[in-house]
Amino acid sequence: MESFFVSTPIYYVNARPHLGHAYTTIVADSVNRLHRLQRRDTFLLTGTDEHGDKIVEAAEKNGLAPKEYADKISSLFKEAWPWLEVETSAFIRTTDPEHIECVQRFLTTVYEKGDIYFGEYGGHYCFGCERFYTDKELKNGFCPDHLEKPRYLQEKNYFFRMTDYLPALKEHIRNNPDFIQPERYRNEVLGMLGDELTDLCISRPKSRLTWGIELPFDSDYVTYVWFDALINYISALGWPQGQPFKKYWPGAYHLVAKDILKPHAVFWPTMLMSAGVDLYRGLRVHGYWTVQEAKMSKSLGNVVQPMEMAEKYGLAPFRYFLLREMQFGLDASFSEEGLVNRLNSDLANDLGNLCSRTLAMTNKYFQGLVPEMSALADEDQEVVDAGLTALDEYVRLFGDFQFSRGLSVLWGFIGRLNKYVDESAPWVLYKEGQTKRLQNVMYVLLEGLRKIALHLWPVMPSSSEELLRQLGTGFDLHAVDLDREGEHWSGLKPGVKVAKKSNLFPRRDLVLQQDHPPKNAEKKQKESDKSSLEGQVSFEDFQKLHMVTGKVLQADKVQGADKLLKLEVDIGEEEPRTIVAGLARHFEPGDMQGRQVVVLANLTPRKIRGVMSHGMVLAVHQGEDMALLTSTKDTQPGSRVS
């Protein structure tokens, strides 16, 4: 069985898990789940980096010893991942005895090869970054990340002969275009290798720092954080002789944010070369999440807490939003408004509506049983072919870490199925007794939903499993072969009972943290001029209005009424609504067919000229003219207006 290994960076324990940590780890989990669906033997590694100056400083601020503090924060990371539906194969800590032993073995291997030497170095040291900066790297004399002036330090340390391996690294990157992706970061690394890079300082004297792994060849020094942290990727696999190392390392991918590109793309490969270890297969680099155009930071107070977002809006929408919103490799902006819009538009309106309508029609027309499918008409086969093509492209893009593009392709197919409902009009087929065609249409829809749910399992595991349960099939990972899903449209067994309804993705309103109201605000409100409130409605009253977009399928004049049109409007329900509207003096019936309208859907039904009307089509009066209220772009029938 082919193997696949993906790692996140090990996260520094000087802060609690935030959005950046969550994104990287959810990406790793999602791509790992895709490979599991493809029947690969996978390994997902994450963990915590617990040595260095910053940990000592953070521990002192909290009145704890470094190990005690590291235990506390590391547990927060370990507990967060199952809560976000991340399934890890191992959680490593750099304070683990096995890791310490592996680091010292690795150091000994490189030292005995002659690639570590003792020397003296002076440079600008940033304690926040725990690294030296050259004059060229500083911005106006300040650290580019922390915007603080580094301290000039001159001390004796151990150095790794990194420069000896840079030519070989450059050749490897040029000969293997897929080694570092996206392309912009590959080019950035090649640019780094053209700079005047120096050998890598790998130690700190114990006179300055004791919280680290002691060098095996000099007890007066501890190893520098990167020469400790990076080795976790192989220590977790039992390098050099462990079976997991032999099994998974050949298929290893590292997933990192762009701020740690250099250590992973330059330091780590040269270290591996020196130790005689094969290079990892690929490095995948993503951008930053920004909040109001600024990078998240504690000092700015704009750090997003992932568990809070998932609790407010649901875990599936949160995971979906992260993967859909960020074009992998570029920066992306996080906002609760954006999350809610994605939830309501993509999940509630597009996918949720499709699930609800399909299950409702299956129950109405076939007593909730999956119908038999026979030879398909051309228009039905076209939908099936479009689905197979879209799903194949989704898998390719997702496996290539192009998550947003892949989900866009998948949602294009969801939109096609929604359109297919309108075009095939199952309610008409049912009334006309076209049972064979109706069976085929419903099977195409049901099987399409099954395939969508299966392909969305890497993104939203629990919700996908629930949708599969509603479709009467359930989820068994060992029975899935995603590669074969592209060869057929027959996964659902006829006669299987489906759920009566589906409400996987209920619409949500934006829930922002409100400031505390000023004192006496309630009293002042009561004392305000009551006359100014006449004719106004409260927000709660407005929320009672259920307004949705709809598509007019048919329009006819009402006999004996010059002003009235009888409309059949699709608003995302199992059957179109009949609505009587006073539009006849401004619109011909032919003008209305296919038009997008806004419908007040929870208006009490009433009989108008002998026709029962279920709602109101909203329009705007402008003098003698009238215009239909609509949206600026086409939406799925049933999309909520708010």
**Same-domain pairing of 465 and 370:** yes
Whole-number percent of the chain with pLDDT over 90: 70
Residue 216 lies in a domain: yes
* No. of helices (H) and no. of strands (E), the chain: 24, 27
Residue 326 lies in a domain: no
Amino acid at position 334, single letter: F
The CA distance from 347 to 353, in Å, is 8
The CA distance from 331 to 329, in Å, is 7
Q: What sign for the dihedral angle of Cα 269, 270, 271, 277?
A: positive
Residue 558 pLDDT: 83
Single out the residue of 377, 400, 407 nearest to residue 316, CA to CA. 407
Average of pLDDT values for 590-605? 85
Residue 531 pLDDT: 41
The CA distance from 58 to 51, in Å, is 11
At 184, list the tokens: 């912009």
**Same-domain pairing of 225 and 347:** no
C-alpha pair distances (Å), 154 with each of 123, 125, 267, 406, 499: 6, 9, 22, 51, 71
Whole-number percent of the chain with pLDDT over 70: 93
Residue 298 pLDDT: 53
Q: How confident is the model at residue 19 (pLDDT cuts 50, 70, 90)?
A: very high
Single out the residue of 416, 419, 412, 490 nearest to residue 450, CA to CA. 490
Average of pLDDT values for 224-237? 95
Average of pLDDT values for 468-476? 96
Residue 495 lies in a domain: no
Please, are residues 552 and 595 in contact by the beta-carbon 8 Å criterion? yes
Domain count, the chain: 3
**Same-domain pairing of 477 and 339:** yes
The CA distance from 378 to 25, in Å, is 44
CATH number at residue 171: 3.40.50.620
Cβ neighbours for 449, distance < 8 A, ≥ 6 positions apart = 354, 355, 358, 417, 467, 471
3-state secondary structure of 274: helix
The DSSP letter of residue 258 is G
**Same-domain pairing of 276 and 337:** no
Residue 535 pLDDT: 55
Residue 176 pLDDT: 98
| Structural domain ending residue among the three candidates 259, 286, 313 | 286
Q: Which long-range contacts (CB under 8 A, 24 or more apart) does 242-250 make?
A: 244/43, 247/3, 247/41, 248/3, 248/4, 248/5, 248/41, 248/43, 249/5, 249/277, 249/278, 249/280, 250/3, 250/278, 250/281
Q: How confident is the model at residue 297 (pLDDT cuts 50, 70, 90)?
A: low
Please, are residues 312 and 283 in contact by the beta-carbon 8 Å criterion? no
Task: Give the residue carrying structure tokens 């020469």.
Answer: 227
Average of pLDDT values for 10-20? 92
Please, are residues 492 and 370 in contact by the beta-carbon 8 Å criterion? yes
3-state secondary structure of 4: strand
Residue 476 pLDDT: 95
Question: Which residue range is the domain that position 41 belongs to?
Answer: 3-286
Q: What is the pLDDT of residues 45-85, one digit of tens each?
A: 999 999 998 899 999 999 999 999 999 999 999 999 999 99
Q: How confident is the model at residue 500 (pLDDT cuts 50, 70, 90)?
A: very high
Residue 539 pLDDT: 60
At 22, list the tokens: 């969550």
Alpha helix stretches (DSSP H) within 5-131 = 19-37, 53-61, 66-83, 97-112
**Same-domain pairing of 271 and 367:** no
| Helix 315-325 vs helix 306-313: crossing angle, to nearest 10 | 120
**Same-domain pairing of 477 and 611:** no
Where b means 16+ CB within 10 Å and e means fewer, 561-578 reads beebbbbbbbbbbbbbbb
Residue 156 pLDDT: 93
User: Which helix (H) or strand (E) element contains residue 291?
Assistant: strand 289-291
Residue 227 lies in a domain: yes
Q: Indicate the pairing of strand 596-600 with strand 606-608.
A: unpaired
Residue 518 lies in a domain: no
Residue 216 has pLDDT above 90, yes or no: yes
Residue 441 has pLDDT above 70, yes or no: yes
Residue 250 lies in a domain: yes
Average of pLDDT values for 214-242? 96
Residue 327 lies in a domain: no
Average of pLDDT values for 214-238? 96
Say if pTM beats, i.e. exceeds, 0.95.
Answer: no
Q: How confident is the model at residue 518 (pLDDT cuts 50, 70, 90)?
A: very low
Q: How confident is the model at residue 524 (pLDDT cuts 50, 70, 90)?
A: very low
**Same-domain pairing of 120 and 190:** yes
Residue 380 has pLDDT above 70, yes or no: yes
Q: Indicate the pairing of strand 282-286 with strand 252-257.
A: parallel
Residue 306 lies in a domain: no
Where b means 16+ CB within 10 Å and e means fewer, 109-131 reads bbbeeebbeeeeeebbbbbebbb
**Same-domain pairing of 124 and 206:** yes
First to last CA, the chain: 51
Average of pLDDT values for 479-496? 95
Residue 623 pLDDT: 63
Residue 129 pLDDT: 74
**Same-domain pairing of 544 and 437:** no
Q: What is the pLDDT of residues 117-165, one digit of tens each?
A: 999 877 888 877 777 787 878 888 898 877 888 888 888 999 999 999 9
| Helix 268-275 vs helix 166-175: crossing angle, to nearest 10 | 110
Residue 463 pLDDT: 97
Least-confidence region, from 168-177, 609-618, 628-637: 628-637
Q: How confident is the model at residue 295 (pLDDT cuts 50, 70, 90)?
A: low
Task: Give the residue carrying structure tokens 């420069």.
Answer: 163
Residue 343 has pLDDT above 70, yes or no: yes
Give the max Cα distance, the chain: 102
The CA distance from 310 to 380, in Å, is 38
Single out the residue of 348, 349, 355 nearest to residue 449, CA to CA. 355
Higher pLDDT, 440 or 614: 440
At 5, list the tokens: 């290994």
Higher pLDDT, 525 or 26: 26
Please, are residues 15 and 261 in contact by the beta-carbon 8 Å criterion? no
Residue 302 pLDDT: 55
Q: How confident is the model at residue 530 (pLDDT cuts 50, 70, 90)?
A: very low
| Structural domain ending residue among the three candidates 286, 319, 348 | 286
| Structural domain ending residue among the three candidates 485, 518, 552 | 485
Q: Pseudo-torsion of CA 460, 463, 464, 468, nearest 10°? A: 170
C-alpha pair distances (Å), 233 with each of 23, 226, 253, 277, 367: 19, 12, 10, 12, 54
Residue 517 pLDDT: 42
**Same-domain pairing of 110 and 208:** yes
Q: Output the CA angle 440-442-444, nearest 5 degrees.
A: 65
Please give the mean pLDDT across all residues of the chain.
90
Average of pLDDT values for 220-249? 96
**Same-domain pairing of 463 and 577:** no
Which residues are catalytically annotated? 18, 21, 126, 129, 143, 146, 295, 298
Residue 533 pLDDT: 44
Amino acid at position 333, single letter: S
Query: How many CB atoms within 10 Å of residue 559?
Result: 10
CATH number at residue 606: 2.40.50.140
**Same-domain pairing of 473 and 573:** no
